[in-house]
Amino acid sequence: MAYAPVQLPAPEPVRAQDLVRAQEMSFAQESPAVSEAAHIPAMSVAPAPSVGSAPFAPSVVPGPSFAPVSPVDAAVPTTAGMVMGGGDTSGSGYDMKAAKALAFARAQIGRPCVWGAAGPGSYDCAGLTRAAWMVAGVALPRTARDQATATTAIPLTDIRVGDLIFFYGDVSHVGLYIGDSMMIHAPSPGAYIREESIFYAGQAAIHSAARPA
């Protein structure tokens, strides 16, 4: 049995206005996530500072402990309540004598301290200062107490290189001042002649100071 062919209607031509309407409908059905993202405000990013621009403000404000240290003034006390002298005697007769005494004392550093010794291989405290100033042409007594009595007492505010500095209430120890709160002395029997702070026994141990010439 033979079938008659089915006749399909010819497709209608697509019109331009139909294409525009289809595109508008697809935009209207856009995904909610995309639609919401379109309304997220853009983040503003501050530009990075360029080289040579003003420095960043510090995140931590320095406290008083970070204040710059001022140079030490010659009149500032080396310890509470004590001001050390720092006057210049360069070129004076005393300065030249003190230089000789100091050079001799430095040459004895490392020699042993022996009770009652006055050189040349060992010294006690007064024996050292006596020998040092003898080189400079100044004769001193043998003991620390007698040296304090025979020399010119000076205030600690006027102490200079070469001066004698005495210790303890009984004036039983003496050293040769070399500046910057230091001295050369023979500390005690069994020790060695050395440079040491005049505060080695504490400020209270300092009795007085005197100038030999």
Give the model's confidence band at 44: pLDDT under 50 very low, under 70 low, under 90 confident, else very high: very low
Strand 152-154 vs strand 164-167: parallel, antiparallel, or unpaired?
A: unpaired
Query: Which CA distances in Å does 114 have to 13, 84, 90, 168?
Result: 131, 30, 34, 19
Q: Is the pLDDT of residue 136 over 90?
A: yes
Contact present, 154 and 162 (Cβ < 8 Å) = no
Give pLDDT tens digits for 149-202. Answer: 999 999 999 999 999 999 999 999 999 999 999 999 999 999 999 999 999 999
In this predicted structure, the answer to whether residue 135 has a pLDDT above a threshold of 50 is yes
Q: Tell me the β-bridge partners of 174.
A: 166
Residue 4, pLDDT score? 56
**pLDDT confidence bin for 57, thresholds 50/70/90:** very low
Say how many Å lie between the first and final Cα of the chain, rounded.
157
Sign of CA dihedral 146, 150, 151, 154: positive
Q: Which of 42-46, 90-94, 159-163, 199-203 has the lowest mean pLDDT?
A: 42-46
CA dist 165 → 124, 143, 147, 171, 192 (Å): 15, 13, 10, 10, 18
Segment 76-90 mean pLDDT: 43
pLDDT-derived band of residue 65, with 50, 70 and 90 as boundaries? very low
Kindly list the structural domains of the chain, giving each domain's residue range(s) and its CATH number in brackets, ordered by start. Answer: 93-211 (3.90.1720.10)
pTM more than 0.75: no
Query: Which amino acid would we find at residue 111?
Result: R
